[in-house]
């Protein structure tokens, strides 16, 4: 047993966090309270912001950032609370729990002293009911912070520092490249940068130059044609000319690689592609750009709500090559993407509440759904067609294991090595494997399979 500890975080630079009002602080705590009741963070946040017409732009950004941070660092904040003598288990009211986390986040991650924090949290309110007195909060923010006690292993220490539930940290540590688990944990716990795809004919360099003209700094991503990452924080990029002209799509770098694995623009131009788990059409739009106006993309999804969102995005972009046939038939498609429902363990940086609701049993359930979805899709594929199976999971159980089980039952299919379509740094064996600590954005997996021309 190698015991190990970690350092408390260095506070963010002041301009990273902004200066909130009491109203903004209250809203962030209210959003966290909803998350503690089991509501999904993304939807709750968007509803609260919609209903908060009295908050200015800076305040809204603070609410979004702070409420994500409270989910992101929950385990570390509770650890600090315990070491400071306020055991989280003894706090009966959720409101008290949320207030403690908020105060400790402001202390540890924003470097605030009680004098600066008090206006945000002092009685009356800011949330009701509340049993914590101001002097209890003051003590949490002002008492000396002891060094974190040693954990059983470097991975266990990293799991506390980067707030991963124990079971998930153990799973991820077993699957991470040797010696890199702590880096994976850290990468899954950082607010992600805004990642963009330059839509053809624009390329990443021209997009970066156009953004620079409007003082938005960005850089192209090596090895991923068309991908760029915004350097500065803030939302100015959304008002930029290329964004308003719809020449840019917000899309994770790994998602762009999955679309690239479906085929080059030359291979796909004028062809038919299908996207069977299209959701809000993120990858559908990438496929539509690749097949071009003379090609076709057939999109479907189990969820009517997500599909309606996808349909709306496609309509706004005027992509007439995309249709949403019901039922979705695949016989005419040369390439079919199965962007399967998954645990989202590669996207925890973006969805920080997901790690607290995910359970090992759910991963097993998802594995069964993925196997079924892949087999059903394969059954309606034309001979010679390509099937791309993708997830934003880091777990083998949802990735290699699903594909290998599929191949063992479907001798008519073979793997086409991902290296033929994406840069070698994103490949592990024949598969696409994007690790969140090695590149920008989240973690992803994909396999490119081809049905033999003559059915076996």
Ligand X SMILES: C[S@@+](CC[C@H](N)C(=O)[O-])C[C@H]1O[C@@H](n2cnc3c(N)ncnc32)[C@H](O)[C@@H]1O
Taking Cα atoms as reference points, which of 143, 102, 78, 109 lies closest to residue 10?
Answer: 109
* 277 makes contact with ligand X (CB under 6 A): yes
In the bound state with ligand X, the residue whose beta carbon lies nearer, of 74 and 328, is 328
d(CA 349, CA 436): 9
- Options 110, 262, 277, 392, the catalytic residue: 392
d(CA 181, CA 162): 11
Among 301, 351, 353, 440, binds ligand X (CB under 6 A): 301
Contacts of 305 (CB under 8 A, 6+ apart): none
Taking Cα atoms as reference points, which of 182, 246, 97, 228 lies closest to residue 436?
Answer: 182
d(CA 8, CA 289): 46
SS3 content of the chain, % helix, strand, coil (to 5): 45, 10, 40
Would you give the binding string for ligand X spanning residues 317-356, x where CB under 6 A is met?
Answer: ----------------------x-x---------------
In the bound state with ligand X, the residue whose beta carbon lies nearer, of 172 and 277, is 277
* 198 makes contact with ligand X (CB under 6 A): no
In the bound state with ligand X, the residue whose beta carbon lies nearer, of 66 and 277, is 277
Tell me the closest approach of the beta carbon of residue 363 to ligand X, in angstroms.
Answer: 15
The single-letter DSSP state of residue 251 is: -
In the bound state with ligand X, the residue whose beta carbon lies nearer, of 156 and 277, is 277
On whether the CB atoms of residues 186 and 349 are closer than 8 A, the answer is: no
Sequential DSSP letters for 435-452: -TTTSSS--EEEEEEEE-
Would you give the binding string for ligand X spanning residues 253-272, x where CB under 6 A is met?
Answer: --x-----------------
* 248 makes contact with ligand X (CB under 6 A): no
Contacts of 331 (CB under 8 A, 6+ apart): 380, 382
Give the binding range for ligand X (CB under 6 A) out of 43-51, 203-211, 273-281, 443-451: 273-281
Would you give the binding string for ligand X spanning residues 126-155, x where CB under 6 A is met?
Answer: ------------------------------
Among 306, 313, 350, 450, binds ligand X (CB under 6 A): 306
262 is catalytic: no
Sequential DSSP letters for 346-357: GGTTT-TTHHHH
Give the binding range for ligand X (CB under 6 A) out of 58-66, 300-308, 360-368, 410-418: 300-308
Among 280, 358, 402, 422, binds ligand X (CB under 6 A): 280
**Inter-axis angle of helices 74-83 and 154-161, to 10 degrees?**
100
Tell me the closest approach of the beta carbon of residue 213 to ligand X, in angstroms.
Answer: 30
Assigned token pair, 292: 């071009």
Return the bridge partners of 250, or none.
196
Among 87, 113, 302, 308, binds ligand X (CB under 6 A): 302
Tell me the closest approach of the beta carbon of residue 303 to ligand X, in angstroms.
Answer: 4
d(CA 297, CA 318): 13
Binding site for ligand X (CB under 6 A): 255, 276-280, 282-283, 301-303, 306, 339, 341, 373
**Which positions are catalytic?**
392
């Amino acid at each position: 047993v190698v015991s190990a500890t970690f350092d408390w975080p260095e506070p963010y630079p002041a301009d990273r966090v902004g200066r909130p009002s009491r109203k903004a602080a209250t809203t962030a705590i209210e959003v966290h309270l909803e998350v503690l009741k089991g509501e999904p963070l993304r939807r709750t946040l968007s509803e609260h912001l919609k209903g908060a017409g009295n908050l200015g732009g800076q305040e809204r950004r603070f609410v979004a950032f702070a409420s994500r941070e409270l989910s992101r660092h929950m385990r570390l904040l509770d650890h600090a609370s315990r070491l400071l003598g306020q055991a989280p288990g003894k706090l009966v009211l959720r409101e008290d729990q949320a207030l403690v986390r908020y105060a400790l986040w402001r202390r540890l991650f924003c470097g605030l002293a009680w004098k600066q924090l008090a206006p945000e949290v002092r009685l009356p309110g800011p949330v009701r009911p509340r049993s914590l007195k101001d002097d209890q909060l003051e003590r949490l923010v002002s008492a000396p912070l002891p060094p974190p006690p040693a954990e059983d292993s470097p991975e266990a220490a990293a799991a506390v520092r980067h707030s991963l539930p124990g079971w998930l940290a153990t799973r991820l540590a077993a699957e991470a490249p040797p010696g890199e688990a702590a880096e994976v944990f850290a990468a899954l716990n950082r607010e992600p940068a805004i990642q963009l795809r330059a839509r053809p004919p624009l390329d990443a360099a021209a997009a970066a130059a156009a953004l620079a003209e409007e003082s938005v700094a960005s850089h192209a991503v090596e090895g991923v044609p068309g991908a760029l990452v915004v350097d500065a924080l803030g939302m100015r990029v959304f008002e930029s000319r290329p964004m308003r002209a719809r020449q840019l799509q917000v899309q994770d770098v790994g998602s762009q690689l999955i679309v690239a694995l479906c085929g080059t623009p030359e291979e796909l131009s004028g062809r038919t592609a299908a996207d069977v788990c299209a959701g809000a059409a993120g990858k559908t739009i990438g496929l539509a750009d690749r097949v071009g106006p003379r090609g076709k993309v057939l999109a479907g999804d189990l969820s009517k709500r997500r599909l309606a969102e996808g349909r709306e995005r496609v309509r706004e972009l005027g992509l007439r090559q995309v249709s949403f046939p019901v039922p979705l038939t695949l016989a005419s498609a040369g390439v079919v993407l199965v962007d399967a429902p998954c645990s989202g363990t590669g996207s925890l940086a973006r969805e920080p509440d997901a790690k607290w609701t995910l359970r090992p049993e759910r991963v097993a359930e998802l594995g069964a759904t993925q196997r079924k979805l892949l087999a059903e899709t394969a059954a309606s594929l034309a001979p010679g067609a390509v099937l791309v199976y993708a997830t934003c999971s880091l777990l083998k159980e949802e990735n290699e294991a699903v594909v290998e089980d599929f191949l063992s039952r479907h001798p008519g299919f073979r793997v086409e090595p991902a290296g033929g379509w994406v840069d070698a740094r994103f490949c592990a064996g024949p598969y696409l494997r994007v690790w969140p600590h090695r590149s920008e954005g989240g973690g992803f997996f994909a396999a490119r399979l081809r049905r033999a021309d003559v059915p076996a």
